[in-house]
Structure 1
């Protein structure tokens, strides 16, 4: 691996022909946005190799969290000879990929179709003497009960539990709850000028109607926590006090059926309607289906509100969200890096990830100030982000529901799994298994 592998990999990813969904991360690099828009060539990206082992990177603007971005797979190096040899099949399967980490992906036939694969120790890895495992076998098991049976039979060492099974095993010494810097939220479609969801009172009614505490305790039971606002924990700290963003920001979320009904009545008057029927879209995984059903039931407690539930596979949910083909959708976001901007930037009016098309001029100005006027002033920048979150919470531009955690049963024989709340989730380099 040399510096040229970074130059090629970055230019390839930012190239519009590659159609990388994470190309936006290169918007911080000089000419990145212009290349993504097709106005400049990938070769004009602000990166060059000084020699085999030194890179020079130019940014369009100061980016306080840029060092965190460098840990993301989307900014990893890519060897030109392998990418060109594999062509359209590059990275589609384990055999069509290339690796320089502690493990290689083996027996993987392709995303969306394969249900079993392995991580095999990489004999070419520079620090292979400190990798204890030879192989990690992975199986997709959609039902928690099946996974638990496999675990109890000694056929697997780490399984995910949800719902009642997580609750039943929470006191087991082999049970772990692993928190993610991820918020599950509901977006409502506000793109059409005539959309009822452009009404603030309707959005507030929907939020007040959700008992988040009951949802995480009774439906999920996996250690997930009710959202206090849009950002989850461990997504940034106050530069003065080192307190977590969620401790400093004002919480405006609460379960209050009386307020829900009050805002619903106001919304009906303002919209000139007596009832409202709409569709709630969710993924077809066990836990998300349960969440969708719970939210559906909570909203239908509001007199005159009828909610139809539709569940689809993850890829279909993403496609429909991107295309704006929904009324309300259970979605969410996991922090790519530990900075509040990874969430706040999502809901700028021009963001491709603002699926509901919520728009607020004050919010846009605060987000812009955090990345331009105050980008080199940590205290002022942090205050911009605090104020921006206050705006989106008070306006209920999106409806935060809970911070995601995963309930796991992990064998006592397995030691050394490292989990990260933001960015790539797990690191298995230091794992060992007691014989």
Structure 2
């Protein structure tokens, strides 16, 4: 039994004894409800403008309300904004904010907070990985690139509860983007009061269903229900504990011991046993994302040799990865944009239809053409991945394929999550890095935008191609759905041809879910905000 459960039982027992001994002391009408969630890695930061990973987004869905928010079933609903109007030309969005919305310190959430926060995101001084996320807004890109001042951004507070946004050009999917954590508002007064320390427990002020109570590194993050939240009466969970656990075997043990209501992941090594012995608790479902490897295009030989990049890509047997290594229902990926993308046709290269033997033969031919292998130069490379058993197994398998088929000497380098993110984003990795992208909104643009030459740290391989950038720019300025899809499809074909990244598989979500949990719904984007969940006594 964990110390958490022992403590809870002790509190319950002590309360019962007190009530027995003192007839005038009344027990609460209903016991506090506590939710225990696995959350993968230690969070990079709780600052919604500066975080970039899924573990952070799960925390921020509880702490903050965006203009819209996920409903836990695969859809979205108006949250901080009750409604909005769109001008006839599709460029001006007027968000009508909830008048009963308050920060966790009881002060009103105002349009001035939204203006402050959006300017802060695109301000180059913030150094936000997701600054580009609001480049659709007038002048935002020029601000991030240092060409204009933050106060020129196309946002303004019409009054305390009316937030107006002017876009550079019509963007039909704009509203669907706004559940993303980078677009959340912060309390202007709170950030100005505490500076960089505003994210610390005791300082952080939030407008979501929960507020931060504790953040103990490598242990847990504790949240308690925000009494000032407009929908607090319908939030059933009183306290939420998040546990960062990079070791998935350890996380599974905690779940089986009753210490977690659901896990962040499921270890590959236990999938078959779990299917046979705990099928009701094992949840797998399609997940809107792509797992891939990225070469460092700021370094040689990757920068100059497309043949070398394609050789390595072809030599990876994706069927083995999904059927023998992962065994979790993933789909082999040869393109970047995943299936189930709205208004989009997948761009699948011809070699995806070849046999693996044909791909291997072509890989050897291209490897020799690039000057490597028998009669050529030897090649040594390093695969970087973040510490996790599933990533390690994939890296070992890929390394074995490259060694056996092409004679490459491969070394593996694993790093703790925060260090890994810095190494990867700053392009300090030597050769190849593990990467993954979960769609922030259901649109091909959300994936392809990453490969723009001006996107910065989020560009996984530092790919830069003027023609690709032109196609993306044109797609972002047309409101014709069919024309836009054609442009995005052309852009993806180009980046596949240039081998910007090496897609390996399309994700599936995998969780162990307790039968005591109420309200869990498997969904394409794997959103499960605590406010929509409940636990049985």
1:106 matched residue in structure 2: 213
Deviation at 1:320, TM superposition (A): 2.2
Report if aligned partners of 1:197, 1:203 keep a CA contact under 8 Å in 2. no
Structure 1 residue 178, shift from structure 2 partner: 4.2
- How much does 1:204 deviate? 2.2
Structure 1 residue 381 corresponds to structure 2 residue 484: yes
Counterpart residue number, 1:67: 175
Moved over 6 A (4+): none
| Separation (CA, whole Å) in 1 of partners of 2:364 and 2:179 | 45
Question: What residue number does 2:124 align with?
Answer: 16
Q: What does residue range 157-236 of structure 1 map to in structure 2 within 5 Å?
A: 157-159=261-263, 160-171=265-276, 172-192=279-299, 194-196=300-302, 198-236=304-342
Residue matched to 1:242: none
* Aligned with residue 532 of structure 2, among 398, 422, 430: 430
C-alpha spacing 1:221/1:94, structure 2 compared with 1 (3 Å) = farther
State whether residues 46 and 59 of structure 1, in contact with CA within 8 Å, keep that contact through their aligned partners in structure 2. yes
1:228 Cα deviation after fit: 4.1
Shift, 1:419, TM fit: 6.0
Contact kept, 8 Å, 1:178 with 1:408, in 2: the verdict is no
Q: Deviations over 1:42-75 (max 9, x none)?
A: 2221111111221211111222211012222222
Once superposed, what is the RMSD of the aligned Cα atoms? Answer: 2.2
The aligned counterpart of 2:63 is none
Contact 1:209 1:298 (8 Å CA) reproduced: yes
> Does 1:392 pair with 2:495?
yes
Matching residue of 1:340: 444
**For the residues of structure 2 that align with 1:17 and 1:318, how far apart are their CA atoms?**
19
Change (3 A) 1:274 1:80: closer
Given that residues 435 and 460 in structure 2 are in contact (C-alpha distance below 8 angstroms), is that contact kept between their aligned partners in structure 1? no
| Residue in structure 1 matched with residue 356 of structure 2 by the alignment | 256
Residue pair 2:302, 2:309 contacting (<8 A) in 1 also: no
Distance 1:394 1:418 in 2: 38
1:166 Cα deviation (Å)? 2.4
Quick check: which has more Rg, 1 or 2?
2
What is the aligned residue count? Answer: 419
1:367–1:134 CA distance, 2 compared to 1 (3 A): same
Q: By how many angstroms is 1:403 displaced?
A: 1.8
Measure the CA separation in 1 of the matches of 2:524 and 2:392. Answer: 24
Report the TM-score when normalising by structure 1: 0.89
In the aligned structure 1, how far is the partner of 2:338 from the partner of 2:356? Answer: 22
Aligned partners of 1:151, 1:53: CA distance in 2, in Å?
Answer: 44
Could you tell me whether the CA contact under 8 Å between 1:210 and 1:295 is conserved in 2? yes
- Where 1:90 maps in the other structure, the secondary structure is helix
- Shifted more, 38-47 versus 357-366: the winner is 357-366
* 2: CA distance, partners of 1:53 / 1:88: 27
For the 8 Å contact 2:246–2:387, the answer to whether it is kept is: no
Cα deviation, residue 163, structure 1 = 0.4
The answer to whether structure 1 residue 416 and structure 2 residue 519 are counterparts is: yes
Q: Distance in 2 between matches of 1:385 and 1:314?
A: 32
